Amino acid sequence: MLNECGGDRIVDIGSGSGRPMQLVLTELAKLGLRPQVTLTDLYPSPEADSSPDYWPEPVCATNVPPVLRGVRTLFACFHHFNPPMARAVFRDAFAQRQPICIFEATSRTPPAIAAAFAIPFFVLLPAPRVRPLSSSQIGLTYLVPIMPLLALWDGLVSRLRTYSIVELQALTRDCAEVSAGALQHFLSAWFAALGEKLA
């Protein structure tokens, strides 16, 4: 995307701690790409030694400040937006002529949903090796298994709320009004190609 757009800037939306972007930058560096990155969040929490740069003001994904130019990225957070908000995220990017990339680690497919029920085991098994280990941690993990159940709930709901390729395409359909049709044609072809790769 960076090469196709001829840009070298990334504006990450919903960055949280910013750690996922560090992994992305490591992989991009292996490809010889070293873009400038600005992390943003509705509730910014930059660390003292934050790198890349963290935008200090709150940034809403549906109304990104025009001064933040570059390829917009959303990692594992787009499923938190309901359809009207998700559509507004796309429309804001189109209105400002900024590319947007959405990455999800989940999907709403039967195998993915079934796999969610294995999540509690990934909480139960490593818990004794976590340090420092407290009595409350043991109690809430094994005696009253609140922690495994919360992890299951979070994983299951995330999968059920993840948009499909067809739904993402539908969310961008009315963006032709903003982009004069050209960008919508590109997106339709791109979503179709992505759907073939995932099939």
What is the pLDDT at residue 188?
52
In the structure encoding, which two tokens stand for residue 105, read together?
Answer: 């680690």
* Residue (of 41, 37, 42, 91) closest to 69 by Cα position: 37
Count CB atoms within 10 A of the CB of residue 178.
18
Give percent of the chain with pLDDT exceeding 70.
84
Domains in the chain, CATH or no CATH each: 2-104 (3.40.50), 110-156 (no CATH)
- Beta 71-75 vs 53-54: how paired, if at all? unpaired
Secondary structure E strands in 30-167: 36-39, 53-54, 71-75, 100-103
In the structure encoding, which two tokens stand for residue 180, read together?
Answer: 């004069």
pLDDT at 182 over 50: no
pLDDT at 195 over 80: no
Cα separation, 116 vs 112, in Å, equals: 7
Residue burial 63-100, b: 16+ Cβ < 10 Å; e: rest = ebeeebebbbbbbbbbbebeeeebbbbbbbbbebebbb
* Residue (of 119, 117, 139, 137) closest to 129 by Cα position: 137
Query: DSSP label at 164?
Result: P
Torsion of Cα atoms, 160 then 165 then 171 then 177, to 10°: 170
For residue 185, what pLDDT band results from cuts at 50, 70 and 90? very low
Residue-wise pLDDT tens digits, 116-142:
999 999 999 988 888 888 888 889 899
Query: DSSP label at 173?
Result: G
Residue-wise pLDDT tens digits, 60-109:
999 999 999 999 999 999 999 999 999 999 999 999 999 999 999 899 99
Residue-wise pLDDT tens digits, 138-176:
898 998 999 999 999 999 999 999 999 899 989 988 776
